[in-house]
Structure 1
Amino acid sequence: MLSKFGRKIINQNQDNLLNSFLIGLEVERQRTDAQGQISSYPYPQNIGNQQDNPWITNDFMETMTEVVTPVATTIDDALSYLEKLSNVLRSGLHSHEYLWPLSMPPELPRDRRQVEIAHANAEKRHYFFTWLKSHELQEATPCGMHINLGLTPQLTNGLTIAEKNQLYIILAQGFLRYRFMLTYFFGASPLAERNYFLNNQGPQRLVRSIRQSAYGFGTKFTGNFADIEHYQERILAGICDGKLLAEHDFHSPVRLRKQGSIKDIVVKGTSYLELRMLDLNPWASVGINSDELKLICLMAAYFLVEKPAPYNLQQFTDMNEQVALESPYEHCQYQTEILTFLTELRKFAGTIQANQSIYDLLDRLAIMVCHPSLTINGQLARHVNNGSLISFAVCQAKKFQSRAALATNVYDGFASGYVPAADELAQYLSAK
């Protein structure tokens, strides 16, 4: 059943607008050596200053790199930007240094004091060390893919700020509802390497995704996505109560983002939705492939036009937790729900006249539901050797590094310390 917004779009023959979103990608990856150990080499010197280059920097650990793309208007451009910026990063690595392709980190030192915290600016380092006072260090070390999804001006033309905010709330609810499905298809963290869990704290068998389970990233603060006002109030209350150090300490799998303070989001509007629920794809050199992005965009379009289902965040969280901790070899306990939703997406694809690649994708996903071994994690589990993925990860890392070495016309503007604006960088990356 169509929502009010959906009826408007379909009745005005504007459904083509649902095929396009503003897309930004952020990928975190660890720097490692040729043996798959955390790198001891210093931060690369010819990719810009880690404190003021917004496109290539690092996160919690000094060896945890982060690449951020400018906003793209197509999936192909978004992936191209990410690949070219990743090539810049790879070109700056030491000759015996690589990017770890897995979400879970390589072996951590048992003595956590040996982990070097990122040489970020004073404010960021203060946050890191304050955060460590109430969390275990390893909780901040998993890496992943963040997808920033924005509504195009053409799609929101004529809408009030309140109406735009409501569309972003609908998107957030939809992705939280079907997070379990994304974990089933794209979960890729079946185990943790040695010294991640101390004293057998973690799962004692392979699972679909440690990172997307309760064993994953640190701050366990639940948001409220009932509407934009409750979303804002919940985060501000968390900061006031000391449960959150700042608004960016809200590490939900879905976040509503805007420029400036969360205090302004109701009156000034949401800028984009941040999805933080994807593990790194170890078979993709940039950590994600077009199938994942195509599904995300199709789901977003569907959520916008279909009447929202009842919102129950605790139920959604419980469903994802159950799927995340399933064995990679098991059929998902929500197999029927996934197949039903894929059928709905297929019908919707016809409504918006999606191209054949979408139907092919939905066919592949339906097969994966019946054959867990074909999911990313099902394939990854076959490479586990003596309870470890180090050999596989090193092989993949070296292969991706070799490919990057063949890239031509790698952007070298960061080496001079110049930091281009988003439009300028996007133009350069598009031209190459």
Structure 2
Amino acid sequence: MANNFQQRITILSKYSTSLTEFGRGIERETLRVNADGKLSQEKHPNAYGCALTHDSITTDFAESLLEFITPVAKGVDQLFDYLNDIHHHVAVNLPSEQYLWPMSMPCYVQTEDHVELAQFGTSNIGKMKTTYREGLKNRYGSMMQIISGVHYNFSLPQGFWDVWAELHNSPLTGQEAQSAGYMGLIRNYLRYGWVIPYLFGASPAICKSFLQGKETKLSFENTGKGTIYLPYGTSLRLSDLGYTNSSQSGLNICYNNLDDYLSSVRKALSMKDPSFTEMGVVKDGEYLQLNDNVLQIENELYASIRAKRVQKANETPSQALKARGIEYIEIRSLDVNPFCKLGITKEQVHFLDLFLTWCASIDSPELSQEEYKACASNFNEVVTRGRDPELTLKIAEQTYDIAGWGEWLNSQLTEMAILLDKNNDDDCYQNAMKHISPRFSHPENTSSARILERIKQTQGDNGSLALQLSKQYKAELTEQSYVLWSEQEFAEQKQQSIVKQKQIEDADTLTFPDFLADYFENANKQ
């Protein structure tokens, strides 16, 4: 018989030590922009070392799109000390007239040709990374790819999984319980993860240049000199304008267990897309994409949450999961928070800890494709009109407006917060709930509403507000001090990245076409 929520809280309270020392990591993306708010055309700064091999500072799609990666941290304070140190180092070493864009949606970009793809050196793996980005550019356009986000990597303590088995009346143990538990967490995140763009979405407006003259079905309104917005929008980054791919709508990824998930991903990797086939893979000796499949590689699968496992050498993400199970999950639906210099706050992290633990602890029935599509529809509705008072969401045969769902969620998350605070001898989780939970019934307090109000107050332009914040944050980041690392340690990271990249380049023996053939032959092995 399934446990109800109160029974689950009782079980969790008996094993309070199982809810301490979450594993946490943050990946924050940000564009380098010039003093006029336009995209920087300069190469990845030499001061940061080699993007291919640097531990903390790399690039994502473009040379101008920086990505900061923290080590795994057990405490929230340590996590933010890492993040602060990386930001400080980057700010100190930024060219004097460059800044870090503090919003998810890009700055003014004249044309897509002004977006230079990230370069990773002359090695085969470096060329593959750039070719993959060439494929993304040719498939979807460069503008979509220079959107910035914050990814939150999260793992529950090892001792939690025995408790999980009791919570769910499961006979599974060890890694099997852990993988099944994370898959259950993912299913519940797909059901209820709309709360993340509702609460923290901060991209209701964009510079009109983002559209590059393309038509859209979204009912935009105009403000300022060139800003367009959705009155009730929360996260245009997560809308059809951003990280979506219509060709992936029929992939039918299964989230009911790890084996079926991996099987459905492998099937997706072998599917062809007629438009990509028509484009061709190589033209005049130059690669247009890695292949003509719907997914060039697994990373192209757009998802708000991913199952993850640290990969070994020559191992794909799926192979790592198949061999050793799920190790942690990655949350990918966080907009950059423009109200803080790091793009994310401790309060947000505490809420995420709480919400993800709740997702793992409550019942998580299997997810049919019909329910999956309904969940996706809910998510899409929230990102485009989440603050609309007329919006209702249907989940598990229950239909409520946002305030109604919020009341139900708040009652459970508040109890979970009390439990976590007892375990950690702190009030951080309850404080996060007290500050965040009123947003469900007061949408004017959400991040998207606040940023839209700021835009309208500052001469109505998204770009002018972002540029003002970017200059303010650069000054703040430059003036602060290192906490865990030092300039010397970053200098060592830089030098190590240079040495590693050269070693990789010197070790190459295959031509690039032969390297790709070997890579995909290996990737197809189970």
User: For residue 368 of structure 1, what is the aligned residue in structure 2?
Assistant: 439
| Contact preservation (8 Å) 2:183, 2:256 | yes
What corresponds to 1:118 in structure 2? 118
| Structure 2 counterpart of 1:138 | 143
Q: 1:343 is matched with which residue: 375, 398, 411? A: 411
Establish whether residue 407 from structure 1 lines up as the match of residue 421 from structure 2.
no
Deviations 1:15-70 (A, max 9, x none): 23224310010000000112211113332221211221131011111100000000
Residue 11 of structure 1: how far off its partner (Å): 6.9
User: CA, structure 1 residues 307+3, in 2 after alignment: closer, same or farther (shift >3 Å)?
Assistant: farther
Q: TM-score, normalised by structure 2?
A: 0.74
Whose helix fraction is larger, Structure 1's or Structure 2's? 2
Q: Deviations over 1:363-418 (max 9, x none)?
A: 22232122211111111001225663111111111111111111234434343533
Task: Note if 1:418 corresponds to 2:495.
Answer: yes
Correspondence for 1:209: 235
CA separation of 1:21 and 1:2: change in aligned 2, threshold 3 A: farther
1:250 matches 2:301 = yes
Q: Taking structure 1 as the reference length, what is the TM-score of the superposition?
A: 0.90
Aligned match of 2:59: 58
Mark the CA change 1:412 to 1:194 in structure 2 (over 3 Å): closer, same or farther.
farther
Aligned equivalent of 1:161, options 175, 182, 190: 175
1:196 corresponds to 2:269: no
Paired-residue identity, % = 21
Which position in structure 2 is the counterpart of 1:279?
Answer: 335
Q: CA deviation at 1:257?
A: 1.1
State the Cα deviation string for residues 176-197 of structure 1 (Å, max 9, x = none).
Answer: 2222111111001112213211
Map 1:84-103 onto structure 2 (within 5 A): 84-103=85-104
The one-letter amino acid paired with 2:404 is T
Give the SS at the match of 1:113. Answer: helix
The verdict on how the C-alpha distance between 1:290 and 1:8 changes in structure 2, with shifts beyond 3 A counting, is closer
In structure 1, the partner of 2:523 is none
Structure 1 stretch displaced more, 124-133 or 221-230: 221-230
- What displacement does 1:269 show? 0.8
Whichever residue aligns with residue 216 of structure 2, its letter is Q
Counterpart residue identity of residue 326, structure 2: T
State the match for 2:462 in structure 1: 389
Letter in 1 for 2:199: F
Separation (CA, whole Å) in 1 of partners of 2:441 and 2:270: 47
Asked whether the equivalents of residues 346 and 359 of structure 1 are also in contact (C-alpha less than 8 Å), the reply is yes
Tell me, which stretches of 5 or more residues in structure 1 are unaligned?
Answer: 421-432
Q: Report the Cα distance in structure 2 between the residues aligned to 1:320 and 1:19, rounded to whole angstroms.
A: 30
1:285-323 Cα shifts (integer Å, max 9, x gaps): 110001111111011222222222563321211111111
Q: 2:298 corresponds to which letter in structure 1?
A: E
**Partner AA of 1:375 in structure 2:** T
Question: Which structure has the greater CA radius of gyration?
Answer: 2
Partner of 1:266: 322
Asked if structure 1 preserves the Cα contact closer than 8 Å seen for 2:421 and 2:427, the reply is no
Partner of 1:152: 157
2:198 aligned partner? 184
Does the 8 A contact of 2:151 with 2:332 survive in 1? yes
Moved more, 44-53 or 149-158: 149-158
How many Å separate the matches in 1 of 2:41 and 2:350? 37
Q: Match for 2:495: what amino acid?
A: Y
2:375 pairs with 1:316: yes
Contact 2:102–2:469 (Cα < 8 Å) also in 1? yes
Q: Provide the rounded CA distance (Å) in 1 between the counterparts of 2:381 and 2:9.
A: 37
Report how far residue 268 of structure 1 moved.
1.4
SS for the counterpart of 2:144 is: helix
1:372 partner amino acid: P
- SS of the residue corresponding to residue 383 of structure 1 reads helix
1:2-81 pair list within 5 angstroms:
2=3, 10=11, 13-81=14-82
RMSD, matched Cα: 2.5
* Cα pair distance change 1:331/1:361, threshold 3 Å: farther
CA spacing shift, 1:414–1:366, aligned 2, 3 Å: closer
Distance 1:403 1:378, change over 3 A: same
